[in-house]
Chain A
Amino acid sequence: MAVDTSRPLDPAAGAKGARGRIRNAGTPPRSRIRNALARHWYAWAMVAPVVIVIGLIIGYPLGRGLYLSLTDANEANVERTIGVNHIPATYKNVGLDNFKAILDDQVFWDRLGWTVTWTVCCVALTFSIGLGLAVLLNRRFAGRTLYRSLLILPWAVPAFVSVFAWRLLYNEKNGILNKVLEGGGIDAVPWLNDPTMAKASVIAVNIWLGVPFMLVALLGGLQSIPGELYEAAEMDGASPWQRFRHITLPGLRSVSSTVILLSTIWTFNMFPVIFLLTRGGPGDATEILVTYAYRLSFVNSPRDFAGASAWGVLILLILMLFAVVYRRSLRKQGEVW
Chain B
Amino acid sequence: MRDQRRGPLASVGLHTTLVIASAVAVFPPLWLVVTSFKPKSEAFSTDVVKNPTLGNYRHVLGDTEFLTWFGNSLFIVVITTILGVFIAATTGYAVSRFRFPGMRPLMWLLLITQMFPVAILIVPLYNIMSTLGWLNQPISLIVTYLTVAVPFCAWMMKGFFDTIPVEIDESGRVDGLNPFGTFWRLVVPLAKPGLAVTAFYTFITAWAEVAYASAFMTGEDNLTLAAGLQTFVNQYTSDWGSMTAAAVMIAIPAALVFSWAQRHLVAGLTAGATKS
Contact = CB atoms under 8 A, between A and B. Distances in A.
Interface of A: 2-3, 5-9, 13-14, 17, 36, 39-40, 42-44, 46-47, 49-51, 53-54, 57-58, 60-62, 64-65, 68, 78, 129, 133, 136-141, 143, 147, 149-162, 164-169, 171, 173-176, 179-180, 208, 211-212, 216-217, 219-221, 223-224, 227, 230-231, 254-255, 258-259, 262, 265-266, 268-269, 271-272, 275-276, 289-290, 293-294, 297-298, 305, 308-309, 311-313, 315-316, 319-320, 323, 337
Main secondary structure of the interface of B (DSSP, over half): helix
B85 to A, nearest CB: 12
B32 to A, nearest CB: 4
Nearest to A256: B274
A6 B98 contact: yes
B154 A258 contact: no
**Closest 10 A/B residue pairs (Cβ):** A312-B120, A220-B270, A293-B119, A174-B44, A156-B258, A158-B208, A61-B124, A46-B94, A43-B98, A64-B124
Contact of A8 (B97, B240, B273): B97
Given A9-B98, A258-B274, A316 B115 contact: yes
A309 B117 CA distance: 10
B116 A161 contact: no
B191 interface: no
Contact of A165 (B247, B266, B275): B247
A62 B121 CA distance: 6
B115 A265 contact: yes
B99 A17 contact: yes
A158 B98 CA distance: 36
B49 interface: no
Nearest to A228: B2
12 contacts: A5-B100, A6-B97, A50-B151, A58-B121, A60-B124, A143-B18, A154-B28, A156-B254, A156-B259, A180-B46, A293-B117, A308-B122
Nearest to A171: B44
Contacts of B101: 36, 40
Contacts of B111: 323
B118 A269 contact: yes
Contacts of B267: 220
B82 to A, nearest CB: 13
Contact of B119 (A173, A219, A308): A308
Instruction: Give the secondary structure class of A's interface.
Output: helix
Contacts of B273: 217, 258-259, 262
Interface stretch (B55-63, B64-72, B141-149): B141-149
B230 interface: yes
B269 A217 contact: yes
Contacts of A174: 43-44
Interface residues on B, range: 35 or more
B246 to A, nearest CB: 9
B22 A150 contact: yes
B116 A62 contact: yes
A321 to B, nearest CB: 10
Given A162-B28, A165-B28, A297 B123 contact: yes
Among A7, A61, A166, residue most surrounded by chain B Cβ atoms (within 10 Å)? A61
Contact of A254 (B170, B207, B230, B275): B275
A312 B29 contact: no
Contacts of B173: 3, 6
A83 to B, nearest CB: 15
Contact of A60 (B14, B128, B230): B128
Contacts of B9: none
A47 B251 contact: no
B237 interface: no
Interface in B1-38: 1-4, 6, 11, 14-15, 17-18, 21-22, 24-26, 28-29, 31-32, 35
Nearest to A311: B119
A316 B113 CA distance: 10
B54 interface: no
B190 interface: no
Nearest to B96: A9
Interface in B95-112: 95-103, 106, 109-112
A227 B128 CA distance: 54
B178 interface: yes
A160 B275 contact: no
B107 to A, nearest CB: 9
B22 A151 contact: yes
